[in-house]
Amino acid sequence: MIAKSLKGRSAAMDPGIWSKLPPELLELILSFLPLKTLLNLRSTCKHFKSLVFSPSFISKYSSASLFSSFFLLSHPQCYSNFPLYDTIRGAWRKLALPLSFLPPSAAQFNLLSSCNGLFCFSLPNSSSFLVCNLLAKSSRSIQFPFFPFAFEMLTLVSTPHGYKIFLLCSKFSSNYAFVYDSKVHSWRQFDGFQPLLADNFHKEGASFNGSLYFATPEPFSVVCFDLENGKWENLDTEMPRELTFVRLVSNTDEGKLYMVGGIGRNGISRSMKLWEMGDGGNWVEVERLPELMCRKFMSVCYHNYEHVYCFWHQDMICVCCHTWPEILYCKVSRRTWHWIPKCPSIPDKWSCGFRWFSFVPDLYTLA
In this structure, the answer to whether residues 158 and 57 fall within a common structural domain is: no
Q: 20 in a domain, yes or no?
A: no
DSSP states along 145-173: SSSS--EEEEEEEEETTEEEEEEEEEETT
- Residue 173 in this model has a pLDDT that exceeds 60: yes
In this structure, the answer to whether residues 206 and 301 fall within a common structural domain is: yes
3 state SS of 2: helix
Give whole-number Cα distances, 342 to 84, 350, 360, in Å: 11, 11, 20
pLDDT at position 27, please? 73
In this structure, the answer to whether residues 117 and 43 fall within a common structural domain is: no
Q: Residue 210: which of 199, 224, 197 has the closest Cα?
A: 224
Sequence letter at residue 329: Y
In this structure, the answer to whether residues 42 and 90 fall within a common structural domain is: no
- Residue 22 in this model has a pLDDT that exceeds 50: yes
In this structure, the answer to whether residues 236 and 325 fall within a common structural domain is: yes
229 and 209 in contact (C-beta within 8 Å)?
no
Question: Per-residue confidence at 280, pLDDT binned at 50, 70, 90?
Answer: confident
In this structure, the answer to whether residues 328 and 192 fall within a common structural domain is: yes
Q: 297 in a domain, yes or no?
A: yes
Overall average pLDDT of the 177-181 stretch: 96
Which CATH number belongs to the domain containing residue 264 in this structure?
2.120.10.80
Which domain-ending residue is among 11, 44, 65? Answer: 65
In this structure, the answer to whether residues 46 and 97 fall within a common structural domain is: no
Q: 8 in a domain, yes or no?
A: no
Task: Tally the domains of the chain.
Answer: 2
Number of C-beta neighbours around residue 240 at 10 A: 14
3 state SS of 63: helix
Where are the alpha helices (H) located in 65-200, listed in sequence order?
none
In this structure, the answer to whether residues 290 and 306 fall within a common structural domain is: yes
Q: 5 in a domain, yes or no?
A: no
Question: Per-residue confidence at 142, pLDDT binned at 50, 70, 90?
Answer: very high
Residue environment code for 256-276, b if the CB has 16+ CB neighbours within 10 A, otherwise e: ebbbbbbbbeeeebebbbbbb
In this structure, the answer to whether residues 48 and 91 fall within a common structural domain is: no
61 lies in which domain range? Answer: 33-65
Q: Residue 303: which of 249, 354, 244 has the closest Cα?
A: 244
Q: What is the mean pLDDT of the chain?
A: 84
Q: 25 in a domain, yes or no?
A: no
In this structure, the answer to whether residues 85 and 176 fall within a common structural domain is: yes
Q: 71 in a domain, yes or no?
A: yes
In this structure, the answer to whether residues 360 and 276 fall within a common structural domain is: yes
pLDDT at position 93, please? 86
pLDDT at position 199, please? 53
Instruction: Tell me the whole-structure pTM to 2 decimals.
Output: 0.82
> d(Cα 302, Cα 353) in Å, to the nearest integer?
15
> d(Cα 124, Cα 121) in Å, to the nearest integer?
9
> d(Cα 111, Cα 206) in Å, to the nearest integer?
18
In this structure, the answer to whether residues 91 and 164 fall within a common structural domain is: yes
Residue environment code for 143-163, b if the CB has 16+ CB neighbours within 10 A, otherwise e: ebbeeebebbbbbbbbbeebb
Torsion of CA 84, 87, 91, 93, to 10 degrees: -20
Q: 22 in a domain, yes or no?
A: no
> Where does residue 317 rank: exposed (0-12), middle (13-18), buried (19+ CB within 10 A)?
buried
> d(Cα 80, Cα 73) in Å, to the nearest integer?
11
Q: Please, which residues bridge with residue 327 across strands?
A: 340
Which residues have C-beta within 8 Å of that of residue 355, sequence separation ≥ 6?
Answer: 73, 74, 75, 111, 202, 320, 322
Question: Per-residue confidence at 105, pLDDT binned at 50, 70, 90?
Answer: low
Q: List, for residues 196-219, the tens digit of each pLDDT value.
A: 565 554 589 999 999 999 998 888
Q: 14 in a domain, yes or no?
A: no
pLDDT at position 18, please? 67
